Amino acid sequence: MFHPQISPHDPNTVLVSCDMTGAYISHDGGKSWRMFNLRGVVEFFVFDPLDKKVMYAEANGLWRSQDGGGSWSLLYPRPRP
């Protein structure tokens, strides 16, 4: 696991990347984790400075979550229909 990122809004929200294309999020300070996959190894995570529910990740493109990491959408490159 690498690239840990702790939310500036809530220290219990943590994101980490793994070397097998998975990433993990915890909302309870690391007591439990949920895996999610963004189709590549996540190189970095960024929390929006104003909106605690918005976070970004770079993994073969730029991804955004608007619901605290529950779901992710590809911003760039633009998804193909």
Distance between CA 29 and CA 81 in Å, rounded?
38
Average pLDDT, the chain: 94
Rg (alpha carbons) of the chain, rounded to whole number: 12
Handedness of CA 73, 61, 20, 9 (dihedral sign): negative
pTM: 0.90
Residue 58, C-beta contacts closer than 8 angstroms, at least 6 positions apart: 42, 43, 44
Which residues sit opposite 26 in a β-bridge? 14
Confidence of residue 81 (pLDDT cuts 50, 70, 90): low
Contact 73, 39 (CB under 8 A): no
